[in-house]
Amino acid sequence: MIKLENLCKVYNTAHMETAALNNINATIEKGEFVAVMGPSGCGKSTLLNVLGMIDSPTSGSYLFNGHELGNKKEDELVNFRKNNIGFIFQNFNLIDDLSVEENVNLPLLYMNMPRKESKIRVREALELVDLSERAKHKPLELSGGQQQRVAIARAIVGDPKFILADEPTGNLDTKNGDDVMNMLDILKDQGATILMVTHSPNHGARADRLIQMLDGEILSAQ
């Protein structure tokens, strides 16, 4: 599903050049759950941003279901991203003024999905994360664990082909972190392809495969 060949990302400033990713070669199969670990500054977030089409590689190849994305223009990437990628963020990134169901519905608005279908999708997503009874609540009326479950519902409501989770348990206590991991396991069992950046060895061990990074390079991918 995902194939990276000699992928590089270089940031230039007036005084220096920094290689955030250096000749990354990796493959992620459809339905696989992959965790990425490594120290701060090793390139994990840059890799996630490139895979999520938020950032573009400097060189190399990024194949997504056979489509080369490394050289596409920004407007092409935006359209491809909204139809294929679901994001789960460490800080939830919910809009406080919107209700739970309105937050979950946001990706469907960008997809111009008919209202009747979007209502069904939102209801099903909230049922999956066990938050149907909180649909009318605002994010600040929820616990941190519940907010992350809303973020998961938002990530999956559009039925994305690829879910990117950036430290999804980083701001949660042990119980809520384990609950989020259980939900990712359920999504994986339902056929989702997931890449998760994490600092937690316990959570990383729950993935099908672990990629270890250091200084912009992959040390191992087992």
Rounded Cα distance between 164 and 152, Å, is: 10
Q: What is the CB neighbour count within 10 angstroms for residue 32?
A: 17
Q: Does residue 214 form part of some domain?
A: yes
Q: Does residue 5 form part of some domain?
A: no
Q: Are strands 217-221 and 162-166 parallel, antiparallel or unpaired?
A: unpaired
pLDDT computed for residue 70 by the predictor = 81
Q: Does residue 69 form part of some domain?
A: no
Q: Does residue 9 form part of some domain?
A: no
pLDDT computed for residue 216 by the predictor = 95
Rounded Cα distance between 217 and 165, Å, is: 20
Rounded Cα distance between 143 and 130, Å, is: 14
DSSP lists the bridge partners of residue 18 as 11
Rounded Cα distance between 76 and 86, Å, is: 17
Domain count, the chain: 1
| Model confidence, pTM | 0.92
pLDDT computed for residue 12 by the predictor = 87
The CATH number given to whatever domain includes residue 166 is: 3.40.50.300
Q: Does residue 3 form part of some domain?
A: no
Q: What is the CB neighbour count within 10 angstroms for residue 174?
A: 10
Q: Does residue 11 form part of some domain?
A: no
pLDDT computed for residue 34 by the predictor = 97
Radius of gyration of the chain (CA): 17
In 48-200, at which residue ranges do the beta strands (DSSP E only) sit?
59-64, 67-68, 85-88, 162-166, 193-197
Given a contact cutoff of 8 angstroms between Cβ atoms, the answer to whether 175 and 145 are in contact is: yes
pLDDT values of the chain reduced to their tens digit, one per residue, 222 residues? 999 999 999 998 878 888 999 999 999 999 999 999 999 999 999 999 999 999 999 999 999 999 899 878 888 888 899 889 999 998 999 999 999 999 999 999 989 999 999 999 999 999 999 999 999 999 999 999 999 999 999 999 999 999 999 999 998 999 999 999 999 999 999 999 999 999 999 999 999 999 999 999 999 887
Q: Does residue 132 form part of some domain?
A: yes
pLDDT computed for residue 31 by the predictor = 96
- Domain hosting 188: range is 31-56+74-221
Q: How far is CA 8 from the centre of its chain?
A: 20
pLDDT computed for residue 44 by the predictor = 94
Given a contact cutoff of 8 angstroms between Cβ atoms, the answer to whether 124 and 48 are in contact is: no
* Burial (0-12, 13-18, 19+ Cβ within 10 Å), 213: buried
Q: What is the CB neighbour count within 10 angstroms for residue 154?
A: 27
Kindly write down the DSSP assignment for every residue of 50-61, as one continuous string.
HHTTSS--SEEE
Q: Does residue 21 form part of some domain?
A: no
Helix (H) or strand (E) holding 174: helix 174-189
